[in-house]
A and B are shown apart, each in its own frame.
Chain A
Amino acid sequence: NAGVTQTPKFQVLKTGQSMTLQCAQDMNHEYMSWYRQDPGMGLRLIHYSVGAGITDQGEVPNGYNVSRSTTEDFPLRLLSAAPSQTSVYFCASRESSYNEQFFGPGTRLTVL
C-alpha cells in the first residue's frame, strides 16, 4: 500500500490564484481530513469527510473547498489564494472514528 499520498510536495502561488491540493489513500478508509500547520504551531482542521459524498467544516474552513466523490480521493481547493494561506498542508485518513489516523507527507504552500 502507498498509504496517504499528496501532490504536489511544494507549490508557490501568487495572491488571487487558485489551485487544488491532491490527496489519495489506498487503504479504503472512510474518514479523511485536511489540516494546515503553521510554523511552531499545531495542526488545525480545515475540512473533513466521514465517507464519499459527505464533507463537513473543521476549525478553519474559510477560503477552502473540498469534495469527496470517491472513497480514495479528497482534494482541497483554494479558490483565491491569500498570503495567510501560506502553510504546510497535511491530508490524513482513518478507517473509522476510533482508529489510528495516517498522515500524508504534506504539501508546502507559499502564497506571494
Chain B
Amino acid sequence: GESVGLHLPTLSVQEGDNSIINCAYSNSASDYFIWYKQESGKGPQFIIDIRSNMDKRQGQRVTVLLNKTVKHLSLQIAATQPGDSAVYFCADLNNQGGKLIFGQGTELSVKP
C-alpha cells in the first residue's frame, strides 16, 4: 500500500541553526504535499504546502523542497528558535484529493 514516511524520528539542533526535516513518499501519482507542526497536547497546525508542479516553495522562515524524481520532500527551517520545538509531519494527498495521509513524524528539539 501507499506510505508517506520520514527518514529520522528525532532531530536536535542548536538555536539559530537551520533545520532540515525529510520525508519520502511512495505514490508517484501524489500531487499535493503538506507540512504540519504539532505541539504537545494540540492538534496539527498547517505550515506550508506544495503542488507537484513546483520544486520549491517559501514561507516565513520555512522552505519546502520537492524532488519528484526520487519521491522526496523536505522542510527547511531557517534560524531555528525554541518555539520551533515540536513534531513535524508531512502529509500526502492522494486518491483524487480525498485522502490526506500522514507520515510518522519527526520530533524537532531546539537547544538554547
A90 with B51, Cβ < 8 A, contacts A42-B104, A56-B98 known: no
Interface size classification for chain B: 20 to 34
A44 & B43 in contact (Cβ 8 Å cutoff): no
A105 & B100 in contact (Cβ 8 Å cutoff): no
Q: Chain B binding site: helix, strand, loop or mixed by DSSP?
A: strand
Interface size on A, residues (CB 8 A): 25
Of chain A, the residue at the smallest CB distance from B32 is A98
Where the two chains meet, the residues of A that have a C-beta atom closer than 8 Å to any C-beta of B are 31, 33, 35, 41-45, 48, 50, 56, 58-59, 90, 92, 96-98, 100-106
Known contacts A45-B102, A96-B97, A97-B97; 7 further A-B pairs (Cβ under 8 A): A41-B105, A43-B44, A43-B89, A45-B100, A50-B98, A58-B99, A103-B45
